[in-house]
């Protein structure tokens, strides 16, 4: 049934390519319209992105329509077509599946609508812009943090979703650091897996299975803080939380709290306010037909895509006050909520 739905949608999009090459004419006003399509709103990180993006775009005079695809590629495509037909000037998409949105991008271009890949690249199609952090550097920071703290020992690797282009970039990053340690025999990878949809339940189950086999673990590289959370839950049940070094990324509140509590070694902080505001500015410029200044280019497999790549920061117990707290990402009261005041 699902395959039939996908085929039907593809046929519909191809039919529409040839039926209309202009934007819909039922616009009632000249307000710029930006469609923001998320993969899910269950992740703390995306809620923050949404709020900052919408506030900035509205301040610049645009109307933003935000919709959640509930981790469904078919739904992302359906939402995109719906937004275009409602008069969207630009689509901003957090792709659930890097390979599933080619038809939507082509449909958008056929209707003179620009497409921005937000934080996650859309592969093998000529998207108009990509904005994200240097995800290879994020992975490198995680690998360095782990090897600085555990230069010898057994490592467990928890990769993100294989549908997410960032997952392979993160893996490239931490393996660029791990390789010499592996080659020398100082680091032994005792387990590695991809966690579907970035679920902490998946990382919890995998780490629990490894521990139940009696395997000793000295460090865990988890591709984000949700996966770190699941891993630490499993470690806690085995009285190992705080004894096994765990990395993550996204600087979620729970991760920051675990860091000051001593259960998580580090996370990678990405200044989401900069990402979301720059994306909103770019979307509004595109909607107005203005040129995009100062950009780089990066390959998405088939095309060189204009992009803006931002720089991440490693967060540890030693610098948390000077990063996420100093920036106002979280307050000290939030981060230290579970730590006794003395």
Q: What pLDDT shows up at residue 15?
A: 46
CA–CA distance, 308 with 275 (Å, rounded to integer)? 9
Across the strands, what pairs with 159? 194
Choose among 316, 314, 296: nearest CA to 306: 296
Q: What pLDDT shows up at residue 3?
A: 43
CA–CA distance, 92 with 90 (Å, rounded to integer)? 7
CA–CA distance, 82 with 96 (Å, rounded to integer)? 18
Choose among 136, 185, 92: nearest CA to 310: 136
100-128 confidence digits (pLDDT tens): 999 999 999 999 999 999 999 999 999 99
Burial class (CB in 10 A: 0-12, 13-18, 19+), 195: buried
- List of domains in the chain: 2-127+272-310 (3.40.50.2300), 135-270+314-335 (3.40.50.2300)
CA–CA distance, 71 with 66 (Å, rounded to integer)? 15
Give the CA count within 13 Å in the CB-facing half-sphere of 43. 26
Q: What pLDDT shows up at residue 13?
A: 53
247 by DSSP, 3-state: which?
strand
Residues ≥6 apart with Cβ < 8 Å to 295: 129, 306, 307, 308
83 by DSSP, 3-state: which?
helix
State the DSSP code for 287. Answer: H
Low-confidence ranges of the chain (pLDDT < 50): 1-8, 10-11, 14-15, 18, 21, 24-27
Q: What pLDDT shows up at residue 46?
A: 87
Tell me how many helices (H) and strands (E) the chain has: 11, 13
Q: What pLDDT shows up at residue 156?
A: 98
Q: What pLDDT shows up at residue 208?
A: 98
The model's pTM is 0.88
Q: What pLDDT shows up at residue 141?
A: 98
């Amino acid at each position: 049934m699902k395959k039939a739905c996908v085929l039907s949608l593809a046929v519909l999009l191809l039919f529409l390519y040839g039926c209309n090459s202009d934007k819909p004419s039922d616009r009632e006003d000249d307000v710029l319209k930006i469609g923001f399509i998320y993969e899910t709103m269950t992740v703390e990180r995306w809620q923050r992105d949404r709020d900052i993006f919408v506030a900035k775009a509205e301040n610049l005079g645009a109307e933003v329509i935000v919709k959640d695809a509930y981790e469904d590629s078919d739904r992302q495509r359906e939402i995109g077509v719906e937004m275009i037909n409602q008069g969207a000037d630009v689509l901003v998409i957090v792709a659930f599946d890097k390979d599933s949105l080619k038809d939507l991008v082509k449909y958008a271009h056929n209707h003179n609508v620009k497409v921005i890949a937000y934080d996650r690249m859309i592969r093998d199609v000529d998207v108009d812009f990509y904005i994200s952090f240097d995800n290879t550097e994020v992975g490198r920071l995680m690998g360095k943090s782990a090897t600085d703290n555990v230069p010898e020992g057994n490592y467990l690797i928890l990769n993100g979703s294989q549908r997410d282009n960032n997952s392979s970039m993160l893996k490239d990053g931490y393996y660029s650091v791990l390789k010499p340690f592996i080659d020398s025999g100082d680091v032994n990878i005792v387990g590695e897996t991809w966690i579907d949809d970035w679920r902490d339940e998946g990382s919890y189950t995998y780490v629990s299975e490894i521990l139940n086999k009696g395997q000793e673990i000295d460090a865990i590289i988890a591709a984000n803080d949700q996966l770190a959370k699941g891993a630490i839950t499993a470690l806690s049940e085995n009285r190992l939380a705080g004894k096994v070094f765990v990395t993550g990324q996204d600087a979620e509140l729970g991760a920051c709290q675990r860091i000051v509590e001593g259960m998580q070694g580090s996370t990678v902080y990405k200044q989401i306010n900069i990402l979301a505001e720059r994306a909103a500015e770019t979307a509004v410029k595109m909607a107005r037909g203005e040129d995009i200044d100062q950009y780089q280019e990066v390959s998405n497999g088939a095309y060189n895509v204009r992009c803006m790549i931002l720089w991440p920061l490693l967060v540890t117990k030693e610098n948390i006050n000077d990063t996420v707290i100093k920036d106002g990402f979280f307050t000290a009261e939030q981060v230290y909520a579970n730590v006794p005041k003395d």
